[in-house]
Amino acid sequence: MTSPPVSLVIATYNWPLALAVVLRSVRAQRTLPDEVVIADDGSRDETRELVAREAATFPVPLVHVWHADTGFRLAAIRNRAIAQARGDYVVQIDGDIVLHPKFVAAHAAFAARGTWVQGSRCLLSQATTQRMLDGEPVRLSPVLRGLGHRQNALYLPFLSRLVRGPTDGLRRVRGAHMAFWRDDLLRANGYDEHIEGWGREDSELATRLLNAGVTRRNVKFAAICYHLWHQQANVDSIGRNHEILLRTVRDGRTRCERGIDQYLPPSAQVS
């Protein structure tokens, strides 16, 4: 089976040091994505300048998609980025997710029509994160000191297709590491932009895909990645966002009203 063209979409906000570490891990991929799209939720000029410098020598097209900072609007900026993506398959990470050298190859091999993928990640300690942000060489491996969720660092790809795990859109759904066929996202109209502030935009989208018959798969032991340490996000909006998720569950929604179609040319829109 031929691997699909892959767009790697990286969400970021005002943390260019972390984004630089992530982009170094993208450069080190054994199999590069076909493009990288930075979904920038209103960062200051430092991030734009970093992406411009990287783009000058990056081994694949590096696209910077930005909107103004009017609060946490991750759903909206991901929609904008996915609308500009050109790959058939969208692998989505956050701008603090450092990739194993075979991360992209693992996703391309794991992709299957009619499914979306939830990935796992390891948690780096505060000390290790600081070393990486300072530019120190750090060998990432399952035996790294202070590593959280250590089992997720095991590279055993022959086991990855045997993993089952949750099949719903509510348990262990994390937008920091997911993958989708782009045409499935367009049919679902992408992320629901009524969801603003931290939380539930990923679970709500996952639930709509499941309602539409796109099943969940969980990739472990192959698409390895490491989450840089940071302070917990502000969760004040979680209650309101959770109500939107519950309505999607209750009503069996397969498409949101305010989504990706507003960024697509008319010829690309899906009814």
Say how many residues make up the chain.
271
Nearest to 198 by CA among 75, 56, 59, 62: 75
pLDDT value of position 213:
98
Q: How would you write the pLDDT of the chain (271 residues) with one tens digit per residue?
A: 688 999 999 999 999 999 999 999 999 999 999 999 999 999 999 999 999 999 999 999 999 999 999 999 999 999 999 999 999 999 999 999 999 999 999 999 999 999 999 999 999 999 999 999 999 999 999 999 999 999 999 999 888 888 888 999 888 899 999 999 999 999 999 999 999 999 999 999 999 999 999 999 999 999 999 999 999 888 889 999 999 999 999 999 999 999 999 999 876 665 5
Smallest Cα–Cα separation from 10: which of 77, 72, 107?
A: 77
Q: Which structure tokens are listed for 141?
A: 């491996």
| Residue carrying the six token digits 């679970």 | 203
Specify the pTM: 0.95
pLDDT at residue 240, rounded to an integer: 95
Instruction: Sketch the domain layout of the chain as residue ranges.
Output: 6-268
Tokens 């698409």 belong to 223
Which residues on adjacent β-strands are paired with residue 123?
Answer: 148, 227
**Host H or E run for residue 98:** strand 97-99
Q: Which residues, in sequence order, are CB contacts of 85 under 8 Å at separation 6+?
A: 7, 9, 35, 37, 182
CATH 3.40.50.620 describes domain 6-268: no
User: What pLDDT is recorded for position 267?
Assistant: 66
